[in-house]
């Protein structure tokens, strides 16, 4: 095995050596000697004082109101209405968040969450995807969401697009049509101009790999295009150009006035070589990361172009098989310059890891075959309700090290963990979700190790998601939420799970030490501007009411209404009359 230092990684990071990435080899070599006990050892400590905590949701998963006030149809509306979802479930009502802004913000206040990451439904703003179809009441819905969050001391993080493309744009070719770049530019410009005085963190795309691979490659997601050879790569090409245009619009027209940040949230597993002593498996794991994360990250964070690993592997397979298995579009020099460096932070959505081995000689289409790699799961990894997600917390630390070396060491932008979570089954002990508590505890701790031990510039951790919701083809059969949603009830009531209580404590303590609680709470309160009501004199009649009044009179309205998570003492009695 080649031993490579951190310094050599930085020096040779742009070079191509026998399909082996300098930076990924550095990460694998760094952790190779760890025993399982060392790897899994819990770290007690605190995150930096300004570390940010967030909770997320996505528009089509929670909003409902699918045609209300003129909202346009999305590809997920069409997909669910055509019967492609578990038990023919649809997005029509979802969690009814369209009518429950106050309720949802109430949940966030109770958790003391300082940040809420949510996405805007493009079709709720522009029903056809174009500005001529502006929907004022749709605009007002997000105004209310943003204003209510800010009034509660919660910063909004807004994702411009998380999968739910207006169906009208899809009818014109969707992300395969070059014209969509201008449409997304137009939509982004409107959102920046209208909401940007209050929103200071923007995400252009959430998990775009899912759109390219599952929407246009395998066809498992809408718009159900099964073309892994051409369409999947064309879609990524247009998403990258759309992202860059949105960033430049903000940078040129709004940054100086609004002072915000624009980034992208890329999803990726960690790729661990199945046999760390095998150069072939190490190289295969590197190819896996290039076909998943690097496909988007390399153009944005390095040099404006796809990696040499990706390009040479695709050409190698074409020569070997005598046919085209993947058609990677080519950026012009002007496009490379336009895309390079268009992110103020690196957003990471991460849920699990994979073991990777070399797998040669297949001439079928698809990333695994083109990339000559095979994915595996260690049977000892704790499962979840999804066969695609296992609990492998140590993979997060390694992935953060890889991202820091491969992508952010040059640009010096921070890393935001923009999504981490796991699904549980629909029924069972839904409130006492100890599996999720264990999962979050371990993953957050691995993020802490990356920050404190590896000195990686991670500045935020986001839990997916605030509440149970519509989970794509699985419908409502899997629960990702910190809050239970009773989908059999028309009002969609929410109830906090054990994981909500747990995460609120992590936020309060800013990590895993009791002493942090008071300082973090003071930081949280100082973010909120409170207007106090004028004081009233206490009653002069001798009674205990004066004592009570003096105890609570310093409370602000916000403090008085703050939801408190906890349990009543042992022996407390409940009744019904």
C-alpha–C-alpha distance, residues 12 and 25, integer Å = 12
Helices (H), 196-351: 208-210, 216, 231-253, 255-258, 279-289, 295-298, 308-321, 333-339
Q: Does residue 529 sit in helix, strand or coil?
A: coil
The sign of the CA dihedral 171, 176, 180, 185 is positive
Cα-flanking dihedrals φ and ψ of residue 37, to 5°?
-65, -40
* pLDDT tens digits, one per residue of 394-421: 999 999 999 999 999 888 999 999 999 9
Q: Does residue 343 sit in helix, strand or coil?
A: coil
pLDDT at site 13: 47
Non-local (6+) Cβ contacts of 143 within 8 A are: 195
Cα-flanking dihedrals φ and ψ of residue 358, to 5°?
-75, 140
C-alpha–C-alpha distance, residues 68 and 98, integer Å = 9
pLDDT at site 555: 73
Measure the N-to-C terminal CA separation of the chain; round to a whole number of Å.
73
pLDDT at site 518: 47
Report long-range pairs for 519-527 (Cβ below 8 Å, ≥24 apart): 519/49, 521/112, 523/49, 524/112, 524/114, 524/153, 525/153, 525/559, 527/114, 527/153, 527/155
Total number of residues shown for the chain: 577
pLDDT at site 26: 84
pLDDT at site 411: 87
Tokens at 36, concatenated = 């399982």
C-alpha–C-alpha distance, residues 287 and 21, integer Å = 9
pLDDT at site 544: 60
Q: Are 344 and 263 in contact (CB under 8 A)?
A: yes
pLDDT at site 523: 47
Cα-flanking dihedrals φ and ψ of residue 161, to 5°?
-145, 120
Tell which phi-psi region holds residue 492, choosing left (phi > 0), alpha (psi between -120 and 50) or beta.
left
Parallel, antiparallel, or unpaired: how do β-strands 483-485 and 494-496 relate?
antiparallel
Structural domains in the chain, CATH included, are: 43-523 (3.20.20.80)
Among 271, 328, 275, 339, CA closest to 301: 339
Q: Are 298 and 308 in contact (CB under 8 A)?
A: no
pLDDT at site 9: 61
Tokens at 216, concatenated = 């246009």
C-alpha–C-alpha distance, residues 142 and 333, integer Å = 38
Written in H, E and C, the secondary structure of 134-150 is: ECHHHHHHHHHHHHHHH
H helix or E strand, kind and range, residue 473: none
pLDDT at site 410: 82
Strand order in the sheet with 353-358: 270-273, 353-358, 373-376
pLDDT at site 564: 59
Tokens at 196, concatenated = 């940007």
Q: How many helices (H) and strands (E) does the chain have?
A: 26, 15
Bridge partners (DSSP) of residue 55 are 116, 463
Question: What are the pLDDT tens digits along the chain (577 aa)?
Answer: 334 444 446 444 444 333 345 566 789 889 989 999 999 999 999 999 999 999 999 999 999 999 999 999 999 999 999 999 999 999 999 999 999 999 999 999 999 999 999 999 999 999 999 999 999 999 999 999 999 999 999 999 999 999 999 999 999 999 999 999 999 999 999 999 999 999 999 999 999 999 999 999 999 999 999 999 999 999 999 999 999 999 999 999 999 999 999 999 999 999 999 999 999 999 999 999 999 999 999 999 999 999 999 999 999 999 999 999 999 999 999 999 999 999 999 999 999 999 999 998 799 999 999 999 999 999 999 999 999 999 999 999 999 999 999 999 888 999 999 999 999 999 999 999 999 999 999 999 999 999 999 999 999 999 999 999 999 999 999 999 999 999 999 999 999 999 999 999 999 999 998 544 444 444 444 544 433 334 444 444 445 666 776 787 777 655 666 655 567 888 899 998 9
The DSSP result for 105-122, as a single string, is: HHHHHHHT-SEEEEE--H
Q: Are 503 and 420 in contact (CB under 8 A)?
A: no
């Amino acid at each position: 095995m080649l031993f490579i230092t951190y310094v050599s990684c930085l020096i040779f990071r742009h070079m191509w050596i026998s399909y082996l990435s300098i930076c990924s080899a550095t990460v694998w070599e760094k952790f190779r000697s760890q025993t399982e006990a060392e790897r899994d050892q819990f770290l007690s400590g605190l995150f930096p004082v300004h570390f940010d905590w967030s909770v997320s949701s996505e528009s089509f998963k929670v909003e409902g109101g699918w045609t209300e006030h003129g909202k346009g149809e999305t590809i997920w509306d069409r997909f669910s209405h055509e019967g492609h979802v578990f038990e023919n479930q649809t997005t029509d009502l979802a969690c009814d968040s369209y009518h429950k802004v106050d309720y949802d913000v109430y949940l966030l206040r109770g958790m003391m969450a300082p940040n809420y990451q949510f996405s805007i439904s493009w079709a709720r703003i522009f029903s056809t995807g174009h500005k001529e179809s502006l929907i004022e009441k749709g605009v007002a819905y997000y105004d209310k969401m943003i204003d209510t969050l800010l009034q509660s001391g919660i910063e909004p993080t807004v994702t411009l697009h998380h999968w739910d493309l207006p169906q009208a744009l899809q009818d014109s070719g969707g992300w395969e049509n070059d014209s969509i770049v201008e449409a997304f530019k137009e939509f982004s410009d409107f959102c920046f101009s209208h909401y940007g005085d209050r929103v200071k963190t923007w995400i252009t795309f959430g998990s775009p790999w899912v759109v390219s691979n599952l929407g246009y490659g395998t066809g498992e997601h809408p718009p159900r295009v099964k073309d892994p050879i051409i369409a999947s790569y064309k879609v990524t090409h247009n998403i990258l150009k759309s992202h860059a245009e949105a960033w430049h619009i903000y940078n040129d027209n709004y940054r100086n006035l609004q002072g915000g940040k624009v980034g992208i949230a890329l999803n990726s597993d960690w790729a661990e070589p199945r046999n760390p002593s095998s150069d072939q498996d190490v190289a295969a794991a590197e190819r896996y990361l290039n076909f998943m994360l690097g496909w988007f990250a390399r153009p944005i964070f390095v040099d404006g172009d796809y990696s040499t690993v990706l390009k040479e592997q695709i050409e190698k397979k074409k020569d070997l098989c005598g046919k085209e298995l993947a058609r990677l579009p080519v950026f012009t020099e002007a496009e490379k310059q336009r895309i390079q460096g268009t992110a103020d932070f690196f957003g990471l959505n991460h849920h699990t890891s994979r073991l990777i081995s070399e797998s040669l000689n297949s001439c079928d289409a698809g990333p695994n075959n083109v990339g000559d790699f095979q994915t595996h799961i260690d049977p000892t990894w704790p499962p979840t309700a999804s066969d695609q997600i296992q609990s492998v917390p140590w993979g997060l630390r390694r992935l953060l090290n890889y991202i820091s070396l491969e992508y952010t060491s040059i640009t010096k932008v921070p890393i935001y963990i923009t999504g981490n979570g796991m699904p549980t089954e629909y029924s069972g002990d839904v409130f006492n979700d100890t599996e999720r508590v264990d999962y979050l505890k371990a993953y957050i701790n691995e993020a802490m190790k990356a920050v404190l031990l590896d000195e990686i510039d991670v500045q935020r951790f986001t839990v997916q998601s605030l509440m149970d919701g519509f989970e794509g083809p699985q419908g409502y059969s899997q629960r990702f939420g910190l809050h239970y949603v009773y989908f059999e009830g028309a009002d969609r009531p929410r109830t906090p799970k054990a994981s909500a209580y747990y995460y609120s404590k992590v936020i309060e303590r800013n990590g895993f030490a009791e002493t942090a609680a008071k300082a973090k709470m003071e930081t949280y309160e100082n973010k909120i501007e409170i207007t106090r009501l004028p004081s009233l004199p206490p009653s002069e009649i001798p009674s205990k009411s004066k004592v009570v009044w003096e105890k609570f009179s310093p409370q602000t309205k916000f403090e008085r209404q703050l939801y408190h998570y906890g349990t009543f003492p042992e022996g407390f009695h409940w009744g019904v009359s």
